[in-house]
Amino acid sequence: MSDLTNLTELTIKEAARLLRLRSFSAAELVTAHAERIERLDRRVKAFLRFTPELWEKQAEEADRRIARGDLGPLVGIPMAVKDVLCVRGVETTAGSRILSGFRPPYTGTAVSRLFAAGAVMLGVTNCDEFAMGSSTENSGYHPTHNPWDLDRVPGGSSGGSAAAVAAGEAMIALGTDTGGSIRQPAALCGVVGMKPTYGRVSRYGLIAFASSLDQIGPFTRSVEDAAIVLDAMAGHDPLDATSSNRPNDVLRDFDAGVKGLRLGVPREYYDVEGIEPGVKTAIDMAIKALREAGAEIVDVTLPHTDYGLAAYYIIAPAECSSNLARFDGVRYGLCQDAQNITEAYERTRRKGFGTEVRRRVMLGTYALSSGYYDAYYLKAQKVRTLIKRDFDAAFEKCDAIISATSPTVAFPLGSRTQNPLSMYLCDVLTLGGNLAGLPGISVPCGMTDEVLPVGLQVLAPQWREDVALRVARAYEVTSGVKAGVAPIE
């Protein structure tokens, strides 16, 4: 049996190899993570709830599969699931009080595919309420802390998932990305986070924020691990009308390197307002490393970048206003006593929804209202088209686009909660990928002088996850910068 104290620092590939060699069992691997969670999570607060009955059953089944010679890469691997992804019988609340006590009668496709591959669920991770936020401070329960500095945010909205992987509390964590909610917390927590092309992974079982933008993806501690998880989740699903039936080729040319590839650096992203000097220094070093690995670095332009934030914060609230109209407390979750149905709706939603959710619902309802639809929502959709065309034109000159993932490192808890605009600006480098439906990945690219992680973002053309993964993998190998477990013990 291997030393259990080291099991929480392994990558998926390393753990899978040792499981096949019977160096330890799946049950022991899961126990090591459960014990680490018990020691650390009262400080990190990555999790909202745990699923011991599920992990015990799944770990036992994983060990039986291994004994039968099932050598799948995810058999016995511990994972966590963001609190917007339905798991049958497990309380799922989208980080909101309005859904307190809701236990879905089904499991979402992305999660069920990982279960089928042998992954073991540890629990449900914290997030900004209904995935609306960039710091995980908008959770209806409690904020999550960054494992690299417990006084700072982990990013959001999937901050609990990013923090769980960074703290060694899970080897895989699923998140969702509507405007950067996988990539931005991955950057701030120093882990790998992958957003697939819109339609690559089924959204069935996802509690929707903005249906034309949401995508499910993994957090891991290596690019190869992210590729393994994405490969297991991807593929057509008849339960999701937006899922694609394209061939699943995300692992193509994974280790081919970047020699001969053209990597575009958009001037609008490189010189974005508010980018911190430490972030820019790390990105400059990453660009240099990729050039030395054989990539050709080319200048590209995304001229409508300045309009992206405004367009996103009309489209996303409009869609959330529509999606969240169904939550009234009548069938499940929070319900308030009232004299009539209208008063019940008002009380339930006022008490159940937090400040940021109410803000976005009101913004979206206004943008969709009679007399304002054309002036706001329709115009925002036209800007979205222009942004998509910008990326199309850029990809005629390059194979992938590289930039910082976030213009800043993790900021102190509470420092932006009173200024929504400063919080929204956290997504300025990521939301374009959502508006255009592109695949993107954030990979660690060093630390600032404050010993805080910086992320390198790689965006690729639609359906070219293989290119994004290939570039990220080449950088990881060339630079030697890897996602490590934060030293919080």
* C-beta atoms surrounding 23 within 10 Å: 15
The pair phi, psi for residue 159, each rounded to 5°, is -65, -35
82 as an active site residue: the answer is yes
Report the C-alpha dihedral over residues 335, 336, 338, 344, rounded to 10 degrees. Answer: -50
Among the options 82, 158, 161, 406, which is catalytic? Answer: 82
Contact 110, 59 (CB under 8 A): no
Length of the chain: 489
Longest dimension (CA), the chain: 70
Which helix (H) or strand (E) is 383 found in, with range? helix 379-395
Contact in structure between 154 and 127 (CB atoms under 8 Å): no
Which one from 96, 112, 139, 181 is the annotated catalytic residue?
181
Question: Which residues, in sequence order, are CB contacts of 69 under 8 Å at separation 6+?
Answer: none
**Catalytic hit among 135, 139, 157, 222:** 157
What's the rounded Cα separation, in Å, for the pair 47 and 167?
12
CA distance 105 to 88: 5
Phi, psi of 121 (to 5 degrees): -85, 125
Describe the strand order of the beta sheet including 216-220 as a list of residue ranges: 47-50, 120-125, 78-82, 172-176, 216-220, 192-195, 440-447, 453-459, 400-404, 262-266, 296-300
Virtual torsion, Cα 241, 160, 210, 428, nearest 10 deg: -120
Q: Annotated catalytic, 157?
A: yes
User: Token pair of 431, please?
Assistant: 């939301």
Positions annotated as catalytic residues are 82, 157, 181
